Structure formats: C-alpha cells, structure tokens
Amino acid sequence: MVKKIARLILSSLLISGILFLSACGGSVSDRTTNNNPAATPIAQTTGSNPTNVNTDKIEFKLENGSAAFAIKPKADGAKLVNANNQELARFNLDEKQKLKIKDAGDRVLGFIVTQNDYWKIENASQTQELYILRRQSDGDYKLEDGSDRQIYRIKQRDYGFEIETPTKQSLYKIKVKDGKTSLRDASDKTVLYIKTELTPIAIACFGFDVLTQEQKAALAYMVNLAGG
C-alpha cells in the first residue's frame, strides 16, 4: 500500500513538472535560439516596413584619420552626410530591391535596382540604365555602362579586391587588415578607410570614378545590404 501511494505521488510530481516547463515558453532549445539573433546588416526589411534597423553611423575617414563623409542608416534607408554632418543625399529603400536616390532638396537623382547577381544604376525617370555592377561566377565583379561596355574589372585578391581597367591597368586596391578596410590608389596610398564591418566590394564602389558621390554611396549601401 505504501509503495502504491509513493508511485502516485511520483506520477503527480512528474506531471506538474511537465506543465510548469510548458508554461515557461517551450523547450530549452527554443529559448536558446531566440536569445541568439542573427547579425543585423545596415537595414533589413519585411515587405514595405523596415525592421531590425542598425542606426549606427558608418564613418569613412581619410588617411590622416579626419572624417571624409558618413552614411547614417534610417528606418526607410539612409542619409549621406559630409564631414560637417550636412546632408548630401537621401536614400529611400523599397522592399530591399530598389533604392531611390534624392538630393538634400528631395529631388530624385536616380535609382539602384538589385537583381540576383547584379545591381543597376538607373536615371531619375527609370527610363535608362546608366551602369551595371555584375557579380561573376569566380568571385570577381565588373562594372559596365548602359551599353554593356566594360568600364572596370574588380578582381578578387588575397588581400581583398583590385580595381582595374579593361586593359588590366591597376587603379585601386581594397585591402582588409587589422579590423580596417581601406581603399588605396595605384601607389598604395590610402584614399579612404573604414572600421565598420562593411563588405569589401561595398567599399570598392568608392573607387568607381565614373560615378557621382551619391551614386557611389547608394550603390555601396545596396551591395552591402545584399551581402556583396
């Protein structure tokens, strides 16, 4: 009789324990997953409503350490500001696929449109493709104009990337070292550097001299958002 009562008490305790764990929000593995979110890029969007936005300012500096300009993420995109924090351009993101480029007076300058393996820079009315950055199957990239004429070759190197002309003349190098990504000219002099974790190919966009500053920053933003 005593053993029967003991078994009943033990069964009751086990049932109570199971109910208690269920009320606390599921299994241990579920709670561990929820407490370790993935790293947040410049901005993430769900449908047309941006979420999980990283609002840290992305600062670009000159070789001597002084500020050059910055990209300031917002809920719907970002702003490009100069060294004195004056607004130069606005970037409005639409569902992670299209970025509208505006000047400080809210005038539309153009668009960046993301596709599977390339990014298009379009004019303000979206009637003309101005430039296309294409990802190659071997990890290289190339920048073309709207007529598919190659302007730059962006070659993958052990230190990062090298920007070349179609005739293989070296123009810039993008080097990643000691937590810093730098854009360097042909003589290996630092033009820009950044300590924020942007993808090296995003930094390479600032070596595309055929683009305007607004186009470079907008393209870098979208390339980084896509993971390069």
Q: What is the mean pLDDT of residues 18-32?
A: 39
Q: Is residue 81 part of a domain?
A: yes
Residues 10 and 119 in one domain: no
Residue 210 lies in a domain: yes
Would you say residue 115 has pLDDT above 60?
Answer: yes
Q: Do 87 and 127 belong to one domain?
A: yes
pLDDT tens for each residue of 32-60: 333 332 333 454 433 333 434 456 889 99
- 123-177 residue pLDDT tens: 999 999 999 999 999 999 999 999 999 999 999 999 999 999 999 999 999 999 9
Q: What is the CATH number of the domain that holds 175?
A: 2.40.160
Q: Is the same domain home to 125 and 168?
A: yes
Residue 196 and residue 143 share a domain: yes
Say if residue 59 is in the same domain as residue 24: no
Q: Which residues contact 171 (CB under 8 A, 6 or more apart)?
A: 152, 163, 164, 165, 185, 186, 207, 209
- From residue 210, give the alpha-carbon distance in Å to each of 87, 103, 214: 22, 18, 12
Shared domain check, 75 and 184: yes
Same domain membership, residue 118 and residue 147: yes
Q: Helix count (H) and strand count (E) of the chain? A: 4, 16
| Domain co-membership, 190 together with 219 | yes
Q: How many angstroms separate the CA atoms of 150 and 118, rounded?
A: 14
pLDDT above 90: percentage of residues in the chain: 69
Q: Is 55 domain-assigned?
A: yes
Residue 212 forms part of a structural domain:
yes
Has residue 114 been placed in a domain?
Answer: yes
Q: Are residues 26 and 55 in the same domain?
A: no
**Same-domain check for residues 81 and 144:** yes
Residue 208 lies in a domain: yes
Give the count of domains, the chain. Answer: 2
Residue 143 lies in a domain: yes
Residues 208 and 115 in one domain: yes
Domain annotation covers residue 39? no
CA-CA-CA-CA dihedral for 74, 78, 81, 87, to nearest 10: -80
48 and 22 share a domain?
Answer: no
The token pair at 106 is 């809210």
Q: Which domain holds residue 60?
A: 44-225
24 has pLDDT over 80: no
